[in-house]
Amino acid sequence: MVWFVPLGLKQFLDKIANGATVIEKNWGDIEKIIFNEKEYSILCTPAQHWSQRSAFDRNKTLWSGWAIFGSRHKFFYPGDTGFCGEEFKILGEKYGPFQFAALPIGCYHNV
């Protein structure tokens, strides 16, 4: 198994990964992988959030979303993010269109 994580989380996750490979990525980094004999690209995307694993490490690691590109389809998962319109627009213009997305729904703001 391979886990893709934002910068700063590898050291923490290596301790609990139970043999999985942990790969850290910065915003804009792309990693190519082979899965079921097909090539995919995984892009680390910006998110609007913060990070914290303990009382003493607020914003010491990166937060991110992810986009996965196959030969026919593109999937976007922005992670636990607020609406970051300019970043979403840039991502769509550079890498879109996306055929699939899993989007957060804003649990703190009633519409």
Q: Is residue 38 part of a domain?
A: yes
Q: How far apart are CA 69 and CA 73, in angstroms?
A: 6
Q: Is residue 62 part of a domain?
A: yes
Could you tell me the end-to-end alpha-carbon distance of the chain, in angstroms, rounded to an integer? 39
In a domain, 109, yes or no: no
Residue 66 lies in a domain: yes
pLDDT tens by residue, 14-43: 988 898 999 999 999 999 999 999 999 999
Q: Note if the bond before 97 is cis, omega within 30 degrees.
A: yes
Range of the domain at 50: 24-101
12 is a domain residue: no
Domains held by the chain: number: 1
Among 5-9, 64-68, 78-82, the range of highest mean pLDDT: 64-68
